[in-house]
Amino acid sequence: MSSLEIIAVTISFLGIWLTAQRKLLCWPVNFLACALYFKLFLDVRLYSDMMLQALFGIAIIYGWIIWARGKDDAGEVVVRPLSPVQAGAGLGGGVVGAVTIGWFTSHYTDAALPWMDATLSSFSLVAQYWTARRHAASWLLWIVVDTLYVGMFAFKGLWLTGGLYAAMIVLAVVGYRRWLRAQQEVESGPTL
């Protein structure tokens, strides 16, 4: 456990908590967390996750713009349903990304866990995109991905990061419940 990991865990937890609360401040906080984890993953040779942090940086800027434009009259971020077609396309893209990244990192790098790292990275990008698009279903994918990440980080000896991802599972459950409730309020219309 390094000081870098401790700081990254703290900032990441705050960012995920703010995301679950649908607060716009989540985006700059999550951007800082990405930068910290980029360096940490470089240090432990989890290259897919390192590159994932760079891609998250781009997705964070995108999400920040989408959320800033996607508010209701009260200033709340509006949650949108995920259609079956969107879900299928996202999951299919996750599979393609996992195979592509896994093949590349298993053949051309000294990645510690190329296939698992690639799969989790790919599906994390799908979940991040769904979060940026304000879909409550993003939290369900985060629950699955974060559960598997706990095991991978424990295997790599990143105990604090594994603990963060275990806490993120709890935050994802809270986020899903809050976002689903907000989505249902949008679908049912305003209450008087």
Q: Which residues, other chains included, contact 140 with Cβ-Cβ below 8 Å and sequence gap of 6+?
A: 172, 176
Report d(CA 102, CA 96) in Å as an integer: 10
**Is residue 164 within 8 Å of residue 107, measured between CB atoms?**
no
pTM: 0.86
Closest CA to 172 of 142, 134, 133, 130: 142
Report d(CA 117, CA 128) in Å as an integer: 16
* Identity of the residue numbered 49: D
- pLDDT tens for the chain, residues 1 to 192: 789 989 998 999 999 999 999 999 999 999 999 999 999 989 988 787 788 899 889 999 999 999 888 877 777 888 999 999 999 999 999 999 999 999 998 999 888 889 998 999 899 999 999 999 999 999 999 999 999 999 999 998 889 889 989 999 999 999 999 999 988 887 787 655
Domain-wise residue ranges, the chain: 3-188
